[in-house]
Amino acid sequence: MFCSCFYATSVKYKNNLKPIFVCRQNALIRINYASAFLQLFIFIYIIQSFYSKKMKKNLLLVLFLGFFQSISLAQYLTMPPDGGNKKATLSEQIGINNIEIRYSRPAVKGREGKIWGQLVLYGFNDLGFGTSKASPWRAGANESTQISFSQDASIEGKPLKAGTYGFFVALAENGEATLIFSKNATAWGSYFYNPADDALRVTVKTQKMDNSVEFLKYEFMDQTENAATVALIWEKLKIPFRIEVDIDKQVIESMRKELQGDRGFAWQAWQTAANYCLVRNKNLE
């Protein structure tokens, strides 16, 4: 374990190519070195105590050192989310566009009336960590909230390419919210938010609610064949935005690609494509 710890540390440090994470990596390296030395010390101390017949007398110290060591290694174990913020995934299909939202769910915990503007700050703020000096809210907790589209979509009437995006919110005191779809979908929270990574920004109206929702959640609502509203709901506030897709365009493009593959050898596939176009009155020329 002693050798493997040093090896893992050296590999992790050697492969570190992102300067913004140097401080974090150096901290992990120091933790790993300290952890390895502590393991060696505990092992030597136990052996020494055993042969000197002081094991019973020094058992408490050994247990304390072992407990400290278990804390230092906790980062390598599968643990519940920090702060009890439940992880969640929500998905729905509009046409053939698979839309998925991955987020963490903070709870109100008796803080009614202290969420918006206090826990969740208005606008863009310096959070005191990371490279961003003007960070929006992560629209959840812990890791960045992610939203994925398998096909192109329209958000509040503005086009957004298929892909996975980090989703952020900058709340305003006037009842509006700026929704940000960032091409950086893997950063922790919004500490490294960079407006240069924005794929899309839209402004929406927030809605106040009478009943409080304890755990933050996302919902699909007001569904139609080619659209749905997604709403972020927490405490007594709802932040909705409209998603629309061009179903016929996406289905016809998908059928064309599939018919060029092995599915094109089945006459039933051609019949299905022809029937779709006939019923929808599309691509009949």
pLDDT tens digits along 121-167: 999 999 999 999 999 999 999 999 999 999 999 999 999 999 999 99
At a CB cut-off of 8 Å and minimum separation 6, what does 176 contact? 203, 204, 205, 206
Within-domain flag for 149: yes
Distance CA 84, CA 79 (A): 11
Beta-strand runs (E) in 130-184: 145-149, 153-155, 158-160, 163-171, 176-182
Q: Are residues 225 and 99 in the same domain?
A: yes
Within-domain flag for 171: yes
Beta bridge mates, 164: 148
More confident residue, 83 or 7: 83
Q: Are residues 180 and 71 in the same domain?
A: no
- Taking only the tens place, the pLDDT of each residue in 239-256 is 999 999 999 999 999 999
Q: Are residues 225 and 258 in the same domain?
A: no
As a whole number, mean pLDDT of residues 19-45 equals 51
Three-state DSSP at 143 gives coil
The pLDDT of residue 81 is 74
Q: Are residues 92 and 131 in the same domain?
A: yes
Q: Are residues 165 and 26 in the same domain?
A: no
Which of 210, 268, 257 lies closest to 236, judged by CA?
Answer: 210
Within-domain flag for 69: yes
Q: Are residues 103 and 67 in the same domain?
A: no
Are 196 and 203 a contacting pair, CB within 8 Å?
no
Within-domain flag for 112: yes
pLDDT of residue 268 exceeding 80: yes
Q: How many domains are there within the chain? A: 3
Q: Are residues 94 and 170 in the same domain?
A: yes
The pLDDT of residue 7 is 39
Angle between helices 2-14 and 22-51 (to 10 degrees): 170
Tell me whether residue 167 is exposed, middle or buried, using C-beta atoms within 10 angstroms of its C-beta: 0 to 12, 13 to 18, 19 or more: buried
pLDDT of residue 112 exceeding 80: yes
Q: Are residues 122 and 189 in the same domain?
A: yes
Q: Are residues 87 and 208 in the same domain?
A: yes
Q: Are residues 25 and 145 in the same domain?
A: no
At residue 285, what is the residue type? E
Q: Are residues 97 and 235 in the same domain?
A: yes
Identify the domain containing residue 176 by its residue range: 82-244
Within-domain flag for 285: no
**Two tokens at 258?**
């599939």
Phi, psi of 194 (to 5 degrees): -135, 120
Beta-strand runs (E) in the chain: 86-94, 97-105, 145-149, 153-155, 158-160, 163-171, 176-182, 198-205, 207-221, 227-244
Q: What percent of the chain has pLDDT over 90?
A: 68
Within-domain flag for 116: yes
Within-domain flag for 68: yes
Question: Which of 76, 103, 121 corresponds to the end of one domain?
Answer: 76
- Taking only the tens place, the pLDDT of each residue in 17-29 is 333 333 444 444 4
**Two tokens at 39?**
């393991």
Within-domain flag for 168: yes
Q: Are residues 205 and 102 in the same domain?
A: yes
Count of CA atoms in the C-beta half-sphere (13 A) of 103? 26
